[in-house]
Structure 1
Amino acid sequence: MLQRMDSTTRLGVALVAPAVLLIVVLYNLPLLRILGLSVTEAPGFVENYRQLFVSDVIHRVLLATIRICTLTTVITLVVAYATAAALTLASERARRVMIVLVLLPLWLSVLVRAFAWVTILRGNGVLNSALLSAGVVDAPLQLVRNEIGVVIGMVHYMLPFAIFPLWASMKSIDPRLFQAARAFGASPVTIFRRVFFPLSLPGLYSALLITLVFSLGFYVTPAILGGGRVLMVAEYVRVLVHESIEWGTATMLATMLLLTVVAALATLGRVADLGSMLGQRTR
């Protein structure tokens, strides 16, 4: 028996080792290199990280990133929660159609989606043309090359990633709990507030985590819909590397972005059951 377990263990290690080695070589080593450059690259550790506190440009970029990520996360969670609830309550036939509609954007390239939104939102685009024809507005709305367009594109991108964790959490709720609450005279608002919402929190935390982490590192969508007028951290890092050739500042920002993601994970880990977020059932 022990020999069989030893051979099984060796086989498992042999199967996992190539993947672990690949991750270490292609991901961890470059990541450590970036962290090292933020400390060693001229003008040095102190000056690189000092820019975080004294640079007005970095302050504007950070504030824009925080503002856009916050709006994107809030709007995405509200829309995703309503959509997931509709999926939970829909009939089987309607649910299949809704799932296809939710998945459809994932089958398109992020570039295609971003340029599609440019076509829809620009001054002579589909939306403004419809609004002008209907007499709703007198002049085209400025919906691209600003933060509004960036938020719209990011929300659209993030919705599927937020909807499915929420739906997975909601569909695991026992419907008999609602029947019991109604039997005790609870109103629909009370059932939602006291039963449905608390039990859906694991999915909400998962959606919050995914949306926030993804939003912090967005690059393509803000670059296209922002039109160069809206700089978030990821795009500013590209500018520093390819145009300004300021590797020290760029790697410092990349390091701070990584630390922010780790802090978000740690914070959510304190207020939520990470096992539930990952789909593990408690006994």
Structure 2
Amino acid sequence: MTAFYVAPILQVLAISFTEPQPGLGNYERLLTSESVQRVIGTTLRIGVVTTAIALLLGYALAYRIALSGPRAQRWWLLAVLVPLWISVLVRAFAWVTLLRRQGLVNQGLMAAGAIEQPLALVWNEFGIVVGMVHYMVPYAVLPMLSAMREIDPRVLAAARGLGAGRAGAFLRVFLPLSLPGVIAAGVLVFIFSLGFYITPAILGGGKTLMAAEWIKLQILDLIRWGLGAMLATVLVVAILATLAVFSRLVNLRRLFGAGG
């Protein structure tokens, strides 16, 4: 089974060093090409912003679910997971409909007198972030909820009994105990964000290129296999390095349900 994962990665790695000619020419573009640096910078920036917003929204949702009763938790989880059953393509076009200049968001803001002219909410980084956050919130909720469920309610009760207020018990007890889930969710969302293709392609309108779309452009349109393979290799290395660093901080396998 491992061969099915390792062999393609090794093939991509080999192409990155041999096309169009053997050497480090493709990797030199990391230092000399403004377009490569811009794509990497855009991908990291959107990934970080998406991760931060998804964590904030996801934490609030996970906290609300964790404090609910069993019946309410089932309904909350259903609401969180339902979007995962909808095609990412359908969701991307739905956001285009909502955010375009004649869309419901702009029309609503204009009707309320908040703006005089439609805002550019799509076919830019803002639209990409909105679409990606919508997609990633459920993935942020699940690891954080898993960590919150392991917090013994008696610990919070003890903090309250010792004089801590509701805010104090949350900040000094609940939040620190839930941080492993926050870290795991952040790693998951950030790694997923690095490889997004459909959502940035549609909501970015071809004006904002992220890594996956740039790789597709190099390999399928410009037939520059070496450049595409180079950036793909860089992404894989970045993902593995991120997992290696954060796996030392928290038990990612347990939080992701991969083992004891």
What band does the TM-score fall into relative to the shorter chain? over 0.9
Q: CA deviation at 1:98?
A: 1.7
User: Which residue of structure 2 aligns with residue 125 of structure 1?
Assistant: 103
Structure 1 Cα separation of the partners of residues 157 and 250 of structure 2: 27
**Within the alignment, does 1:162 sit opposite 2:132 as a pair?**
no
2:176 maps to 198
Which secondary structure does the structure 2 equivalent of 1:45 belong to?
A: coil
Asked which structure has the greater CA Rg, the reply is 1
Matched, 1:177 2:155: yes
CA distance in 1, matches of 2:218, 2:254: 40
1:98 match: 76
Q: What is aligned with 2:54?
A: 76
Alignment TM-score, normalising by the size of structure 1: 0.88
Q: Which runs of 5+ in 2 are unaligned?
A: none
What is the identity, as a one-letter code, of the residue corresponding to 2:3? V
Give 1:241 deviation, angstroms: 0.7
Identity across aligned pairs (percent)? 46
**Deviation string for 1:115-150 (max 9, x for gaps)?**
011011111011111111121111111110100000
CA offsets 1:181-234 (integer angstroms, 9 cap, x no match): 111101222211221011112211210111011001110100000000010011
Which residue of the partner structure matches residue 31 of structure 2? Answer: 53
Tell whether the 8 Å contact from 1:44 to 1:248 is kept in structure 2 after alignment.
no
Match of 1:4 in 2: none
| Deviation of 1:271 (Å) | 2.5
What are structure 1's unaligned runs of at least 5 residues?
1-19
Question: 2:24 aligns to what SS in structure 1?
Answer: helix
Higher mean C-alpha deviation, range 66-75 or range 270-279: 270-279
Larger relative contact order (C-alpha < 8 A, sep ≥ 6)?
A: 2
User: In the alignment, what sits opposite 2:66?
Assistant: 88
Deviation of 1:44 (Å): 2.9
1:65 paired to 2:40: no
Q: What is the letter of the counterpart of residue 109 of structure 2?
A: L
- How many residues are aligned here? 259
Partner of 1:24: 3
CA contact (8 A) 2:146 2:255 kept: no
CA contact (8 A) 1:223 1:235 kept: yes
Distance 2:253 2:173 in 1: 21
Matched, 1:261 2:223: no
* Pair 1:196–1:66, CA change in 2 (3 A): same
Give the AA of the match of 2:248: R
The equivalent residue for 2:85 is 107
> Alpha-carbon deviation of 1:94?
3.0
**Equivalent of 1:144 in 103, 111, 122:** 122
The 2-side partners of 1:66 and 1:238 are apart by 18
Distance 2:123 2:185 in 1: 28
Measured after TM superposition, the shift of residue 275 of structure 1 is 5.1
What does the per-residue CA deviation read over 1:8-67, in whole Å, with 9 as the maximum and x for residues that have no partner? Answer: xxxxxxxxxxxx2xx524x33222111110111123322111011100101111111111
RMSD value over aligned CA atoms? Answer: 1.5
TM-score by length of 2: 0.95
Could you tell me whether the CA contact under 8 Å between 1:75 and 1:155 is conserved in 2? yes
Distance 1:150 1:274 in 2: 28
